[in-house]
Amino acid sequence: MKTRLSKLGLLLVPSLFLGLSLDAFATGAPVSMLTQVQGDVQVSKDGKEWKKVDRNKFLFAGYQVKTGADGTGKLVNQATNMTQEVAANSVVEITEADVKALSGKISAPAQDSGNLVDGIGQRFDKAQRYTTVRRSVEKKATEVKLDTIPEITLSAAHPDLVWSGMGKEYAYRLVIDGKNYDIAASDSEMIRFTVPALSAGEHEYRVDVMQGGSSVYEPKKTGKIKWLSKDEEKKIADGLAKIEKTSPGDNFFKAYFLDDKGLTVSAMDLYRKHFDANADDLDMYPMLIKAYNDLKLEKQKKDSALKLQDLRKAAGG
């Protein structure tokens, strides 16, 4: 079987201890989403420094939106799913409870026809748990142990499974329903394997760590792969097509959609692509960190959390 190894420039040490905090940042969850942006639209965190936006963007309490003579946009309340239209030449402020016009006009709340990012608040709050870590000296693991995601959804269009690279002296044996797939030793920090097509439904899997042709670690519990049926995969494709139609090129919302459906590896890939292209979107960066956490990629999670801390300090946040 063909093994695809990721090219992420990150190093994983499975035994590294993370110091997690529940109060990583004071922003809380996003309360509104700016979408259907047209013309001159800018966003500010404090009403002083403004940045032009041309894509969907989550907004937190205290943020302001300003439209120019040709600028319009729609705000979607993440708690009520109600929408409001922001007219041209307006300035509105996002509060915990609602949206208020500081100048210009904003429409009365109306029921949205469909929001593809339902539940962002709870998911974001959970993601915040993984954003603060302690800087510490890395210690070499004293025992071989590999954690893998306990449950994951895969399909013909999203077939990749990932786990932490243990070092160049170790190979791997992926076992799915009793069938073995041997993966050669590699010094890659993340191992990526394209799972061959399976029948629709649940399958047991595990990843053994091998050295010199013998198993040096075998997990006590097996994980589950849910392989989507053709009908289920079509629903995923239709959802992605809907996002592309309403928000062309918006990788973040595609990632969130896939994440919500359990397609965590593909979600991670798109989160990474989004943040590579939008390095200033620090507020939503915890979603990538959460994806690493869900995939049991502990070192990637730590490195990303430290990166976020440094970026926030540099931005004065």
How much is the pLDDT for 261? 95
pTM: 0.83
Residue 182 phi/psi, 5° resolution?
-90, 135
Rg over alpha carbons for the chain, rounded to the nearest Å, is 22
| Mean pLDDT value of segment 246-261 | 92
Could you report the per-residue pLDDT of 163-220, keeping only the tens digit for each?
999 999 999 999 999 999 999 999 999 999 999 999 999 999 999 999 999 999 999 9
Could you report the per-residue pLDDT of 74-125, keeping only the tens digit for each?
999 888 888 999 999 999 999 988 899 999 999 999 987 565 566 687 788 8
How much is the pLDDT for 114? 60
Strands 151-154 and 223-227: parallel
- Split at pLDDT 50, 70, 90, the class of 3 is very low
Collapsing DSSP to helix, strand or coil, 91 comes out as strand
Asked whether the predicted pLDDT for residue 21 surpasses 60, the reply is: no
Tell me the CATH number for domain 1-24+129-317. Answer: 2.60.40.10
- Please indicate whether residue 13 or residue 314 has the higher confidence score (pLDDT): 314
| Mean pLDDT value of segment 121-137 | 81
Asked whether the predicted pLDDT for residue 9 surpasses 60, the reply is: no
Could you report the per-residue pLDDT of 227-243, keeping only the tens digit for each?
999 999 999 999 999 98
Residue with tokens 């979607």, as numbered in its chain: 76
Q: How many CB atoms are closer than 10 A to CB 223?
A: 19
Query: How much is the mean pLDDT over the chain?
Result: 87
Collapsing DSSP to helix, strand or coil, 119 comes out as coil
| Mean pLDDT value of segment 8-35 | 49
Tokens, residue 226: 């849910």
| Mean pLDDT value of segment 1-27 | 35
How much is the pLDDT for 215? 96
Domain boundaries, the chain: 1-24+129-317, 32-116
How much is the pLDDT for 123? 83
Among left, alpha and beta (phi > 0; psi -120 to 50; other), residue 275 is alpha
